Structure 1
Amino acid sequence: MIVIPAIDLKDGRCVRLRQGRMQEETVYSPEPADVARRWEDEGAQLLHVVDLNGAVEGTPRNRKAIETIIKAVSIPVQVGGGIRTVETVTGYLSSGVERVVLGTAVVRDRAVLEEACGRFPGRVLVGVDTQGGKVAVKGWTEVTDQNVDDFVGRLTGLAVYAVVYTDIARDGMLEGPNLEGLRRMAGACPVPLIASGGIMRTEDLRQLRALGPKVIGAIVGKALYEGVLDLRSAMAAVN
């Protein structure tokens, strides 16, 4: 299991939100590329970048910032937020992005996921954002009636790299991950899991690792930016 620093982009800046609410932001840097270099210097093996504007508006809005991040580091970068067409997937992957995260597109139009996985096997992740056991879409602004367990079960047979599982209630709250939800997901999901939301201590990471080999990564955001968790210590805890 690896620790993956998150870089959330809003209006070209590196920010963090509380439970995905766009009006509740904390700006950590006007230069996301500097943040990316910092995490690489501290030993990160992978970066998780989210276009928050894109997630809400349905089309990429921070591509320039993402391009500067890709040029600034030598480690892989995975990107999510506003990716709802195969053309957008192709554009990102051809620009140097290692993998893309599809969320709303998977819920609204499964054909997009199927075509993307067919054309780019192993380079597509599915973002499963959950609230009360239901799948949320459009940058968490809408909660659907789709049950999370049923939703991930339908990924069987597709060349999905992994599912990024985020409990919205935990995101940006520094209250620890939803271990029970992740344990259930590990049993229901046919592909590996990357945990996201609420991780704040090395003990949280050890508990995630203890869920078994299905959990291959943990995305950490606010805890790193607030200095609650040190990246080097976090990586040591899971190794």
Structure 2
Amino acid sequence: MDLKDGRCVRLRQGDMRRETIYSEDPVAVALQWEQLGAPLLHVVDLNGAIEGRPANLAQIEAILNAVSVPIQVGGGVRTLDTVRTYLGCGAKRVVMGTAVLQDRAVLEDACELFPERILVGIDAKNGKVAVKGWTAVSDTSARDLVKTLAGLNLAGVIYTDISRDGMLEGPDLSSLKAFVKDSPVPVIASGGITRIEDIRAIQALDPRIEGVIVGKALYDGKLDLKAALAAVAG
């Protein structure tokens, strides 16, 4: 669930100017996914990712209060105070991205204070790590960055292929496989996942891939959540 200006949206390739608005009521959307069997909700504050601080906190708190499934929250999490805020509101896990490159000490402190409740979001554009809500691309490769996470008490890492995100074109399996090979922690895959076959292909790549994040394909009806869950369970 991507939140922008208080609404549920999806972006194409992370471009804030290329949005599709799906709902004015994020809580209703969260309840819908919960009722359909979603085992976990991934919520991103898109405005927060740009601004570097929570910008849709009221909506996120409302979602946390409305549903019972675990929720992980990301977008603009660059300080320990923000980590504490989300965990204090009831989030199961918190996703940190830009801070991993800009202030490594914050990530290390968060992992020490909240073991196995921090995820690192690594968003790749042409193999390089994008930061600040995907508005800037660093010189660091995604594969090099993930190697540096060894020894941290992380819940895992979320790998997003920006070129595929929101495009409904399927994941880049070769890039994902190479990334997972270098990762010292479990990986959640994101970007381009459209069909049950995509999920099965990812599931078969490496046992260290513990899940996938699906957005636009669900909103657009390209993927049936119940059918997808049944397929991977079987």
Aligned to 1:157: 151
Aligned to 2:170: 176
Q: Percent identity?
A: 61
Aligned to 2:20: 26
Amino acid at match of 1:116: A
Determine helix, strand or coil for the equivalent of 2:49. helix
- Is 1:70 aligned to residue 64 of structure 2? yes
Q: Deviation at 1:61? A: 0.1
1:186-197 aligned within 5 A:
186-197=180-191
Task: Confirm or deny: 8 A CA contact 2:177 2:206 kept in the other structure.
Answer: no
Structure with greater contact order relative to length (CA < 8 Å, sep ≥ 6): 1
Distance 2:81 2:65 in 1: 22
- Is 1:105 aligned to residue 106 of structure 2? no
Segments of structure 2 that go 5 or more residues without pairing to the other structure are none
Aligned to 1:144: 138
Determine helix, strand or coil for the equivalent of 2:101. helix
- Is 1:93 aligned to residue 87 of structure 2? yes
Q: Deviation at 1:149? A: 1.1
Aligned to 1:207: 201
Aligned to 1:128: 122
Distance 2:80 2:149 in 1: 17
- TM-score for both structures, normalised by structure 2: 0.99
Distance 1:64 1:165 in 2: 27
Determine helix, strand or coil for the equivalent of 1:75. coil
Aligned to 1:50: 44
Q: Deviations over 1:142-184 (max 9, x none)?
A: 0000011110000000001111000000000000011111100
Q: Deviations over 1:70-91 (max 9, x none)?
A: 1110000000001100111011
Q: Deviation at 1:236? A: 1.3
- TM-score for both structures, normalised by structure 1: 0.97
- Give the 4+ runs in structure 1 shifted more than 2 A: none
Determine helix, strand or coil for the equivalent of 2:85. helix
- Is 1:35 aligned to residue 29 of structure 2? yes
Alignment root-mean-square deviation, CA? 0.6
